[in-house]
Amino acid sequence: MTEPTSTTQRAGRREWCGLAVIALACVLYVMDLTVLHLAVPALSADLQPSSTQMLWIIDIYGFMIAGSLITMGSLGDRIGRRRLLLIGAAAFGVTSVLAAFSTSPEMLIVTRALLGVSGATLAPSTLSLIRSMFHDPRQRTTAIGIWITSFSAGAAIGPVLGGVVLEYFWWGAVFLLNVPVMIALLVLGPRLLPEYRDPDAGRADLPSAALSLAAMLALVYGLKRVAQDGMTATAVVTALAGVGLAFVFVRRQRRLTDPLIDLSLFRIPAFSAALATYGIGIFVLFGGFLFIPQYLQLVLGMTPLEAGLWTLPWALSFVVGSNVTPILARRIDPTWLMGGGLLLAAVGFALLLGIEPGSGLPLIVLGSIGFSLGMSPVFTLTNDLIIGSAPPERAGAAAGVSETAAEVGGALGIAVLGSIGVAVYRRDVEDALPGTLASEQDAAARGTLGGAVEVAEGLPAASGEALMNAAEAAFTTGVHLGALIAAVSSLALAGFVLSRGRVGVLTEEPEPVEEPVDVAVDEPVACGDGCRP
């Protein structure tokens, strides 16, 4: 890592307080990805959506985020990162209220889509603002560790807070959790956050934005359908259409004078290597963790709340790991720190190979702690590299590309390892199905472990127990295979990182200090000592 020098401007109290504000916004960004799942029963009873409408209500938020990230990251460089963040926060607050008081499934789908577009401004804007606020490499690594922590905190808090709200209020109240935080961001943002934009960015290309959105929507939707339904013609064609549109998007960027994404970023070795490591790391994590919540509920028999509580160790491990990484990075070369973390992650995934049907909770907890702690340095340091290696005027676009890589990596991990797990389950459970089942029951039991549980409950005791034993064993085999692939992938990624040499060194010279376009308040803003790490 670059040692701080006297010419490197260090962040003060104001910047750390600003970081606290944008981290809170990121907590809500992640919470909205998960909190609605708890409200599905009440929402279904009130709005009575069809099964297809319910899928779109749940999924459209993530789809629109994935499709809008590149555009929003580049737009922040053009109109100002703080301005885009504040516009997005205002839109997020308004659409949250509209979603809360939706009166039909169609209205909720539309408002969730608008929430996704608004949410897509948060991650790239906040990450690129960190690039503008923290010029000292050590401080920036710490800030990015806190930024990563906010995502882990959102994933941990979302189900718990959502459950508490739904205990006392109607389903729409889960959306109103966003409003106070967004109001705080609108009030404090102009005082605590600097503005920065590229004065030579040129005009945004609307056809490129449309191509980016269409490509990501098709690709992520296709991958999600592969995970849910297997390699169906619709799923494969949709995913391939997304790849084709992405190719057209890249071709267009090469011809434009002012492209939405400067493709020269990918010729920066540190940027491209860090981006690949980040995307593959997300692929491994999402794919390896995919079946654990289902295993806790359907095999170990936990309630959703109990299962959620037992997933807290991995979320808290990410919090710890993300905040310890900057300290370790001052003493250990980042290449070795990431490589060692990936080896620890491989051990964590390997522990999952020891679980058996109806048991294995200690191994799940230990394994999830292991791969969470191991992946923390990867996510913190790769984002540091991605932002630090990009030119300051392209930080927003770099952040958008980074988050898009995470979205694609996650969707690909779920699709690939999810499809493999489902294929193994269907193969192994087939021989245990009673020949007396109706066609609908047979299809349900073959399809998922949840379907097998429902079918078994309606069978005679002996037949139901035999089906459950076979289904649990088949599902556990799928978990083993997913964990094995994740462990091997972690080892391969560790080899890639270590073979790069000192990939963690951003630069041998101190960074030039970005001059903000304008700052609303020149004097330091009072803030407690807790704002500075």
Residues 173-205 have pLDDT tens digits of 888 888 888 888 888 888 888 777 766 666 777
d(CA 290, CA 46): 30
Counting every residue written for the chain, the total comes to 533
Q: How many CA atoms within 13 Å lie on the side-chain side of 321?
A: 30
Report which DSSP code applies to 493. Answer: H
Give me the residue label for tokens 């002996």.
Answer: 462
Give residue-wise pLDDT tens across range 479-491: 888 889 889 999 9
**pLDDT for 427:** 77
The C-alpha angle with vertex 425 and arms to 424 and 427, in degrees rounded to 5, equals: 65
CA 139 to chain centre: 24
Q: How many other C-beta atoms can be found within 10 angstroms of the C-beta atom of residue 473?
A: 17
* Contacts with 175 (C-beta within 8 Å, 6 or more apart), sequence order: 32, 96, 97, 99, 100
Buried-exposed string 220-238: b where 16+ CB fall within 10 A, e elsewhere: bbbbbbbbbeeeeeebeeb
The answer to whether the beta carbons of residues 345 and 375 sit under 8 Å apart is yes
**pLDDT for 98:** 92
Give me the residue label for tokens 């990936």.
Answer: 342
The torsion angle over the Cα atoms of residues 403, 405, 410 and 415, rounded to 10 degrees, is 140
**pLDDT for 37:** 66
Residue 493 φ/ψ, nearest 5 degrees = -65, -35
User: Is the torsion defined by CA of 224, 230, 236, 237 positive or negative?
Assistant: negative
Residue 332 amino acid letter? I
Buried-exposed string 428-451: b where 16+ CB fall within 10 A, e elsewhere: bbeebbbeebeeebbebbbbbbeb
- Per-residue pLDDT tens listing for the chain (533 residues): 444 444 557 767 788 888 888 888 788 777 776 667 667 767 777 888 876 677 778 778 877 887 787 788 777 777 787 888 889 889 988 998 998 898 888 899 899 889 888 888 877 778 778 877 887 878 888 888 888 888 777 777 776 777 777 777 888 888 888 888 888 888 888 888 877 776 666 677 788 888 888 888 888 788 777 766 667 888 888 889 988 988 888 888 888 777 777 777 777 777 888 888 888 888 888 777 777 877 887 788 777 667 777 878 887 888 888 888 888 888 888 888 888 999 999 999 999 988 888 777 888 889 989 998 998 888 888 888 887 777 776 766 777 777 777 777 777 777 777 777 777 877 777 766 766 666 677 677 776 777 777 777 777 777 777 777 788 888 888 888 888 988 999 999 998 888 876 544 433 334 444 444 444 433 333 344 334 33
* Contacts with 294 (C-beta within 8 Å, 6 or more apart), sequence order: 449, 450, 475
What the block records as the tokens of 356 is 């058996």
- Residue whose C-alpha is closest to residue 493's, from 274, 271, 267, 265: 274
d(CA 164, CA 174): 10
d(CA 402, CA 409): 11
